[in-house]
Chain A
Amino acid sequence: MVNIFRSISTLSVPIPKLFWPENIRKAALEKSISDEADPSWFWIVILLVTGISICAWAFYYKNNLTLSYNDARSHLNVARRVVDSLQPGLAQIGSVWLPLQHLLQLFTIWNDFMYRTGLSGSLISMISFAGSNIFIWKIIKQFNLGNLAALTGVAVFSSNANILFLQTTPMTESLMLVTSLGAVFFFTKWVKYDQISSLILSGIFTLLAVLTRYDGWLLFAFLSFSTFAVSLMKHGRVKAEGHFILYSSLGLFGIALWIGWNAIIFGDPLFFVSGPFSAKAQQEILAARGLLPTKGNLALSIYTYFLTIKENVGEVIFILGILGFIKALFSKFNFTYKMAFLGLFVPVVFNIISLYFGQSAIHLPQLPPHTWFNVRYGIMSLPAIAICIAFLVNRREFVASILIMIALLQAALMYSDNNVITIQDSVRGSSGFFLDDTGAWLNENASQGLILTAASSNDALIFKSGLPLKHFITEGMAKYWNEALIHPARHADYIIMHEGDLVYNNLVGTSEFTENYKLVYLGNFASVYKKKTD
């Protein structure tokens, strides 16, 4: 403990002695002083991308696509249940997903318009998109690549058809991008200027990232290691320990919060890992059906993820990104800068590891089982590619112009070919089920009485029904749920289920169910049973 305090106390030294030779230190300082200021048109660029973001939302909303992902509707329901359910309260945040997106939605989700249109979540994604553009610009500037390179990076990122679509949906990808980019930006700034405030800000953004998606946990681990390594090189072991503790305590706090939440609410600190709604439980179902071909196959995992990136960014941008990556690796920047730069590639490593260990599944039409599922994970690498391409600009206007035009052409090609893969996933793939029929039936016929259903399987259908959430007995309504799974007739006028979901597994075959309920609707995805009146 004494060592820890000693380590932290050393951090107040304003200009640390650098680890590497004096001439390099001087050069770095001179370089930093000569940083170009942001041009006057920087905010015009950000205003422009914000305008594009709003137009994209209006366009996709008009085309009924902002809520086309089933998960998008579930994210809205998770937040909405906090204020509208049989047992409202913060506990409804649950354990399926990390909580930040849902907590942010609480500011607006109470409003019916914001909930039904999905704007409650879309707004967070759109603000995150604008923020991501700012951070991409700022990161590129940290590498002293100039305004033209920064503009190119922003153009590559903001013109991508897939991110433009995803930022209109209430999904968590956009929020994940902005929080992780924030963490990397401030980390890069800390590497460059050695300001403690930057390291703290990086830690705060990491805290937000670890509460957004599990991708953030690997970013936290990488940046924690990098903090120690960079500081060790610059300042020695004692200070490195202090920097490490300062940075990592913030991210660790987020992780501890989540583990504590699981322990308090679900009685198991690792409920999110091993619970019935965890990613692991869901992937086991896929694995049993032979739909997890990447599990245990590293080569296929790598190939699948790189193919997913290519499908998300387009082949030309993908190739340019690789060239930019090579150029960046062989650039004059020292090891510490490269550590910061590599932080952008954490999503690549995270997704490959997840695929290899069977913790996640990505399906592409080119690979068995020849469908679309979770293809949006490829978009997590877009910022890295955009920043890599910025390395190619080399302060040449002509090159920047060509690269920006190529980015725009790539986007135009995706639109003209109707080949925006994240949209395809949501309208043709497994990420979006076709629930209109059952949803409409429920709305017309089941508006009176309570409905028992497993939200873990049917949340999107619950949203689609348009009925208030207080009509549904779901997993979070423990007071009703536990009893309803044994004696459904005491509470439920209707039961919605499909083969394999929690309600189905508990009720089918029981006398209580067969004696009291009759099938009234046979849907494509789920069936509806009604309590017998006679």
Chain B
Amino acid sequence: MAKKTKASNFITISLVYLFLALVFLYSVYQLAISHPVPALKSSNFIQPKLISESPWPIKSIDTQIVSKHWTNVPVESVNAQIEMLKKLGVNYIAVDTFYDDEKEMYKWANAIHDQKLHVWFRSHWKNWEGDEGLPASMTPQEYLDKTKSFISHNPKLFVSGDSFTLAIEPEQAGVGLGKKFLDWNQYRQFILNELVYSNEAFQSIYLGNQIHTNWISVNGWVANNAFTQELADKLELITVDHFSVQTSTIGANDDPNKVAEDMSRALDEIYNKWKMPVLLGEWGYQIYQDTDPDIQAEVIKKVLGKIKTKNYLIGVNYWSHMGNHARIIDDQSGSSLNFRPGAFEIAKVFKNTDDLSLTSSLSATPLPILKKVAR
């Protein structure tokens, strides 16, 4: 009897030890596999060559508010908007539709390609930052895999010469304790992965080395403080979204010269730090409040005039065409939308001309009624 009890105790204790050992090993395994950001699996950062144009190879206008946040915009309206923007001398139009909304993306991309222009895809997935009520639950690894798959399954969405930014301003997802990236090392690793994953995906649809994947927009602070020379070298350019000093006090005005000086200084600072070409990924005026159209035009003129002379600058993406305070097309959701004076200042620079008759050639275009519904 005693022997039996002893044996039974021995088995029980052995099982307990075995269980604890398994739990311990499971914990070790979990720790070993916990890599929030995947390691680089290749060094394919290769980019197509930029085509030289005056004043810059990249002359872009962003459609973010409408292409990302408005829904059910009729295709005729999208076409008309693109036609209007083409008149300003752009060679790229930025589309910010969430990668979740494939149909909407095709609508915009087709309209742009039909006008023989290139698309700059610059967005992210809704689950990344937690847009439209969805949880910000996507991990960096899931993001990379899902986007790679998205590109591979949509070869008709892209045309040689387009640009695809895998995740725009990834810092918005959060860097630090409790956030998407634990630290800036993970963040930089993710940026490099953006290039590697998108290059691999484009290779799989026979567009390898034909789509620009290195226009990874980041904010000015990140460009100055969180980059390393190694990252800058691999990116081959710095794409910075920077809005210079703009007063956030409602009713107050900025000095156009001061705004231009601030922008000039900010770009110089980034260039001097990394000695790499700089692409102004987002800039527009005014982003905090409605401003007088003439004051807006004056600021645009001063800023673009000032930065046009910078040899290191390879492009500007004006943010954005409609739907917010910095608009260059009035967006009253009506049937006859007009350019604001600021649009002519952009056209003068993009077309590299001071021809004042340009104004008359940019006549108002009647647009089908827009359906402004926030997604």
Question: Which residues of A are interface residues toward B (Cβ below 8 A)?
Answer: 60, 63, 65, 316, 319-320, 365, 369-371, 398-399, 402-403, 405-406, 409-410, 412-413, 416-418, 420, 423-428, 437, 441, 445, 518-522
Contact = CB atoms under 8 A, between A and B. Distances in A.
A520 B23 contact: no
Contacts of B28: 409
B190 to A, nearest CB: 13
B24 interface: yes
Contacts of A437: 248
B31 A409 contact: yes
Interface string B126-165: 0000100111110000000000000000000000000000
Contacts of A398: 17
B178 A424 contact: yes
A402 B178 CA distance: 28
A370 B127 CA distance: 11
A61 to B, nearest CB: 12
A418 B177 contact: yes
B179 interface: yes
A520 B250 contact: yes
A420 B27 contact: no
Contacts of A423: 177-178
Interface of B is mostly: loop
Contacts of A399: 16-17, 20
Contact of B27 (A410, A520, A521): A410
A349 to B, nearest CB: 28
A163 B72 CA distance: 48
B21 interface: yes
B250 A418 contact: no
B30 interface: yes
A428 B34 contact: no
A531 to B, nearest CB: 14
A63 B178 CA distance: 11
Contact of B23 (A316, A365, A428, A519): A316
In order of increasing CB-CB distance, the 9 nearest A-B pairs are A370-B135, A423-B178, A409-B27, A418-B182, A424-B178, A427-B178, A416-B34, A402-B20, A417-B34
B26 interface: yes
Contacts, number: 87
19 contacts: A60-B177, A63-B177, A65-B178, A370-B134, A399-B17, A402-B23, A406-B20, A412-B31, A413-B27, A413-B31, A418-B177, A418-B178, A420-B178, A423-B178, A424-B179, A425-B178, A428-B179, A441-B249, A521-B248
B289 to A, nearest CB: 7
B174 interface: yes
Contact of B174 (A412, A420, A428, A522): A428
A480 B251 CA distance: 29
Of B27, B31, B179, most buried by chain A (CB within 10 Å of CB) is B27
Given A399-B20, A402-B20, A522-B288, A316 B26 contact: yes
B261 to A, nearest CB: 20
Given A365-B135, A427-B177, A519-B250, A402 B27 contact: no
B36 interface: yes
Contacts of A63: 176-177
Contact of B248 (A406, A426, A441): A441
Nearest to A518: B251
Given A406-B23, A413-B27, A522 B176 contact: no
B299 to A, nearest CB: 20
Contacts of B288: 522
Nearest to A412: B31
B250 A518 contact: yes
Interface string B242-262: 000000111100000000000
Contacts of A519: 250
Given A369-B133, A428-B179, A413 B174 contact: no
A235 B133 CA distance: 60
Contact of A413 (B16, B34, B176, B250): B34
A81 B36 CA distance: 43
A250 B251 CA distance: 60
Given A320-B23, A410-B27, A420 B249 contact: no
A445 B249 contact: yes
